Amino acid sequence: MGDMGGDQVSQAVAGSAALLRSVSGRDWKGVDAGRLDWSCRRTAEHICLDLIMYAGRLAARATGYVPFEIVVPDGTDNAGVVDVLETTGALLTAAIRTAPREVRAFHPSPFRSANREGFAAMGVAEVLLHTHDIAEGLGVPYEPPAELCEGVLTRIFPHVRPGLDPWRTLLWATGRGELPGRAPVTGWTWSNNLVIGAGRVTLQGVTPAAAADLRAGGTGGFDWIEGGPFEGTRDAAGMVLKAYEAGVHRPEWGLFVLVRTEDGRAVGGMGFHGNPDEEGRAEIGYDLAPAARGQGYATEALRALSERALARDDVKALFATVDRVNTPSQGVVSRAGFTRVSEEHGEDADQYAYELRG
């Protein structure tokens, strides 16, 4: 699963511009764009607005909506709109390339923010999907590179089971096509990774793309301290990827990387072994790079993650197991409010079982 950044935005815009220039002499105003209620002309202008809006939010580190519009002057021909598309694409590309990894800016769906990778994925998605709409309206073929589609799916559609054809899967996931064996999509949203503040660290949700990289021995896009990521984090990344491939992954019940707020360095991983069961119980686990242990990071993160999970109506209790010989980890769960429970809850000869109820 490849990168997602300024290069990918530039590639998507270049492909869109090439297609749109080839049909710029056609009537865009009098033809609807695919299944949309917009004309092809309005749809092209909408792409430009999205690109500059994303660039502005990311560049300004916006914490809410930035109220502005982009206006294409009357009399501008379709080729001029393509010029605007290329310009706004270049602005988003520049904003992504110059934004530090830790920077996040406002986006409403669903966790209220996105990082540079998220804005890149959203920008690419807007370009690919709306170029498709215009092409469909004008009756011309359009199919973007599969790697761009896969990059979008593995970053902002973590809840969508991957298919053999990333482009067809993306079209289906956004209500623009059909896939054998899957019900039509009538409502959809994408999902940027969830970030939870926890004092000296933040818990940053791991996307399927990052999980694949971690499982393969990479960094997942994080700047790790020496000794990280530890083996438990790589194993958990494999669990995320398995759930994603099965179509049952939910970002809030996946893996989070613990990142120090003071320097942006990743120190460990924490997360759930899956979605809550029918009784509203979810199992939680964690590990830290050796150099980060004994400093309270895990306790702070576990408190924050537990508090968020137990605030939900569908969660009644959290569960954790700790090796009997791992006294420091027993201290972590105890300080976070967990208490020892009986064997029927998972305790055995090698591990203690702990529970925290809402």
Q: What is the pLDDT of residues 122-148, one digit of tens each?
A: 999 999 999 999 999 999 999 999 999
pLDDT at 343: 57
Provide DSSP, 307-328. HHHHTSTT--EEEEEEETT-HH
Question: Does 1 have pLDDT greater than 60?
Answer: no
Distance CA 318, CA 163 (A): 33
Q: Terminal CA-to-CA distance of the chain, rounded, Å?
A: 38
Q: What is the pLDDT of residues 47-64, one digit of tens each?
A: 999 999 999 999 999 999
Average pLDDT estimate for 61-87: 96
Distance CA 238, CA 231 (A): 11
Question: Does 345 have pLDDT greater than 70?
Answer: no
Distances from the Cα of 62 to the Cα of 90, 113, 198, 293, angstroms: 19, 9, 21, 34
Question: Cα 320 to chain center, whole Å?
Answer: 26
pLDDT at 349: 80
120 close to 94: Cβ distance less than 8 angstroms = no
Rg, Å, the chain Cα set:
23
Count of beta carbons in the 10 Å neighbourhood of residue 18: 11
Q: What is the pLDDT of residues 202-250, one digit of tens each?
A: 999 999 999 999 999 999 999 999 999 999 999 999 999 999 999 999 9
pLDDT at 184: 95
**Residue 30 corresponds to which tokens in the numbers above?**
């009098």
Distance CA 16, CA 132 (A): 9
Say if 6-173 and 195-357 have the same CATH topology: no
> Which amino acid is located at 73 in the chain?
P
Q: How many CA atoms lie within 13 A of 308 on its CB side?
A: 17
Q: Which CATH number fits domain 195-357: 3.20.20.70, 3.40.50.970, 1.10.238.10, 3.40.630.30?
A: 3.40.630.30
Residue ranges covered by each domain of the chain: 6-173, 195-357
44 close to 56: Cβ distance less than 8 angstroms = no
Of how many residues is the chain composed? 358
Question: Does 10 have pLDDT greater than 70?
Answer: yes
268 close to 233: Cβ distance less than 8 angstroms = yes
> Which amino acid is located at 164 in the chain?
L
Confidence category of residue 344, pLDDT binned at 50, 70, 90: low
Confidence category of residue 342, pLDDT binned at 50, 70, 90: confident
pLDDT at 350: 87
Average pLDDT estimate for 1-23: 94
Confidence category of residue 293, pLDDT binned at 50, 70, 90: very high
Give domain 6-173's CATH superfamily: dinb family like domain (1.20.120.450)
pLDDT at 210: 97
In this structure, of 143-157, 289-303, 338-352, the range with the lowest mean pLDDT score is: 338-352
pLDDT at 346: 63
Average pLDDT estimate for 312-332: 94
Burial of residue 351 (CB within 10 Å: 0-12, 13-18, 19+) is middle
Average pLDDT estimate for 168-194: 96
